[in-house]
Amino acid sequence: MDQTTHDAVILGGGLAGLSLAMQLKRAYPDMDIVVLERHTRPLPEAAFKVGESTVEIAAHYFADTLGLLDHLETEQIRKFGFRFFFSDGRDDLADVQELGVSAVLPTPSYQIDRGKLENFMGDEAARRGIDFREGITVRGFDIGSGDAPHTVRYSSEAGDGALQARWLLDASGRAGLMRRKLDLTRDNGHHANAVWFRVDDRLEIDGWCDDSEWKDRCHPPERWRSTNHLVGPGYWVWLIPLSSGAHSVGIVADAATHPLSDMNTFDKAMVWLWEHQPVLAKEIEARKDKLLDFAFFRHFSYGCARMFSSDRWALTGEAGAFLDPFYSPGSDFIAITNTYITLLVGLDREGTALAPHARLYERLFFSFYDGTLRMYQGQYNLFGDPEVLPIKVIWDYAYYWGVLCQIVFQNRLGDAGFIAHMSPELTASQELNIRMQAFFQRWHAVSAKVNRKHMMDQRDLTWFADMNRTLHDVLDDDALAARLRNNVNMMRLLAAGIIERSAALYPSLMDGYEDMVDIEGARTKLFDLVA
């Protein structure tokens, strides 16, 4: 037994654990932090872990909160946004509807080679004075009561050992050491599966089509840098480039519509791709000798009953709750969770009672989690609808950039006073989102699902690009409150425009939604992309 009581022991030295250690060390430089990781460096590049796409919150967190901007800019790939092709059963991308941006949006996001990033973060953690121990298998732990320390038992090549810690922080990923021991796993009602593999070659989607007009839609013509989605009823396929030159491919599908048994080997997945995405199957077939790996998750989405405890333990990353890879929220929620843990540790260091803050932060976390879950639950049928899905995607991002990103970018996650002050607007945005997610399902039931040969360029939506461009603005409380009010009002107008325009084609859609369009300015030009 190491008789030292360390300030924090983190179970797991992957993305969540190393991020948490770095954030804690930046906030409290004198902290004694031990990270226990079962893998040993160097980790393999290109074929290590999925979770390779980041969006704005995660990119901001890694670059600015943790100070990793130089690594991201020089060693990873700047992302060309999110892009969708309604290409189910089709073999020519120029003949299907495309959703995306013609030029990169101002606020950066990145495609991440997880092995390369975690190798760098392991070295960087040691440089910052964090006790990062590799090749460690956690055998068990005991949660201390009151002020008594927690105890962690482990084994390594050097033998067995034990550590004591004031804070015990679980970042063990899907192993979920604390979640399983305390029986915290919960079914969140979202049942989907995923399979994925990496090929050691670039999938240059820009070269899959000879149509010059199609190629000229993007500047520069580098669609391959996007998180490309090939979509169809009940599923989506991701294409994510890695800085090693490899490409990540994944199939994510509703469990009832596309059973995992139809795709849980590479050969089965190829049969499935030839049926649903032949344009991709052809490219993979030519590179079968460059296959790096293959893996799958069954029912990858789950909830968690507790995240933070006043007994000085907490969960982060996939050790806690996980939503869905669509929109890449995993690293966003690592950022949110780690920030709440860092705030709780700071309160503990000040001698402040933790219980009310742990309850508040947990309630806020779950409000963000549940609001985001609404985007996925029962929504996978929309992936095959080229009329409805593009509108849902724009709505979802307006909600994300307009509300959650504002709170995170302006460092208000733990500001109880400000969040209480803005409670009417935050509640209104959540209620709007709930109603609109239900509306998209009603629209889908009657939509013509016409797959038009054109690109819906989100750059044409000035307000959409402006929301992205202004994310890094530094705002005081009054300015942030004004922005949130303006964004929620914009969401009301956007909802009104969506409902009015869809109801012009399908009048029955107005039933039960009259109150949402009976507002001044309902015939807004926010949504000219629909025309």
Q: Which CATH number characterizes residue 242's domain?
A: 3.30.9.100
| Cα–Cα distance for residue pair 510/185, rounded to 1 Å | 39
pTM recorded for the entire structure: 0.97
Residue 272 placed within a domain: yes
| Cα–Cα distance for residue pair 214/98, rounded to 1 Å | 10
pLDDT of 517 over the 90 cut: no
Residue 82 placed within a domain: yes
Residues 218, 100 share a domain = yes
Backbone angles phi, psi at 237, to 5 degrees: -115, 130
| Cα–Cα distance for residue pair 162/365, rounded to 1 Å | 32
Residues 383, 272 share a domain = no
> pLDDT digits over 350-370, tens only?
999 999 999 999 999 999 999
Residues 202, 104 share a domain = yes
Residues 224, 99 share a domain = yes
Average pLDDT over residues 72-100: 97
- Give the pLDDT of residue 530: 45
- Give the pLDDT of residue 24: 98
Residue 217 placed within a domain: yes
In terms of pLDDT, which residue wins out, 521 or 289?
Answer: 289
Residue 16 placed within a domain: no
CB 199 within 8 A of CB 292: yes
Average pLDDT taken over every residue of the chain:
96
Q: pLDDT band for position 248 (50/70/90)? A: very high
Q: Say what percent of the chain tops pLDDT 70.
A: 97
| Cα–Cα distance for residue pair 447/429, rounded to 1 Å | 26
- Residues sharing a CB contact under 8 Å with residue 326, sequence separation 6 or more, in sequence order: 236, 252, 375, 376
- Residues sharing a CB contact under 8 Å with residue 77, sequence separation 6 or more, in sequence order: 110, 111, 225, 241, 242, 243
> pLDDT digits over 171-216, tens only?
999 999 999 999 999 999 999 999 999 999 999 999 999 999 999 9
Identify the domain boundary among 297, 316, 347: 297
CB 31 within 8 A of CB 7: yes
- Give the pLDDT of residue 3: 80
Question: Using alpha carbons only, what angle is made at residue 486 by residues 481 and 487, rounded to the nearest 5 degrees?
Answer: 100
Identify the domain boundary among 268, 297, 326: 297
> pLDDT digits over 481-514, tens only?
999 999 999 999 999 989 998 999 999 999 999 9
CA distances from 145 to 1, 149, 166, 314 (A): 19, 8, 11, 14
- Give the pLDDT of residue 17: 98
Residues 222, 369 share a domain = no
CA distances from 239 to 50, 236, 296, 298, 323 (A): 12, 10, 16, 20, 19
Q: How many domains, the chain?
A: 2
CB 104 within 8 A of CB 80: yes
> pLDDT digits over 273-298, tens only?
999 999 999 999 999 999 999 999 99
User: What is residue 356's three-state secondary structure?
Assistant: helix
Residues 363, 257 share a domain = no
What residues make up the domain containing 507? Answer: 358-530
Residue 172 placed within a domain: no
pLDDT of 233 over the 50 cut: yes
Which two tokens mark 251? 């199939």
| Cα–Cα distance for residue pair 128/66, rounded to 1 Å | 11
Average pLDDT over residues 219-243: 97
Residues 200, 80 share a domain = yes
One DSSP character per residue, 184-236 reads -EE--S--EEEEEEEESS---GGGS---HHHHTTSSSS-GGGSEEEEEETTEE
| Cα–Cα distance for residue pair 264/528, rounded to 1 Å | 42
- Give the pLDDT of residue 61: 98
Residue 150 placed within a domain: no
- Give the pLDDT of residue 146: 87
DSSP 300: -
| Cα–Cα distance for residue pair 128/418, rounded to 1 Å | 33
Residue 12 placed within a domain: no
Backbone angles phi, psi at 518, to 5 degrees: -85, 60
Q: Token match 């070269």: residue? A: 207
- Give the pLDDT of residue 529: 45
Which two tokens mark 172? 């063990």
CB 191 within 8 A of CB 299: yes
Q: pLDDT band for position 520 (50/70/90)? A: low
Helix (H), strand (E) at residue 96: none
- Give the pLDDT of residue 145: 85
- Give the pLDDT of residue 31: 98
> pLDDT digits over 421-467, tens only?
999 999 999 999 999 999 999 999 999 999 999 999 999 999 999 99
Q: Count CB neighbours of 359 within 10 A.
A: 13
Identify the domain boundary among 277, 297, 317: 297
| Cα–Cα distance for residue pair 462/260, rounded to 1 Å | 41
Residue 47 placed within a domain: no
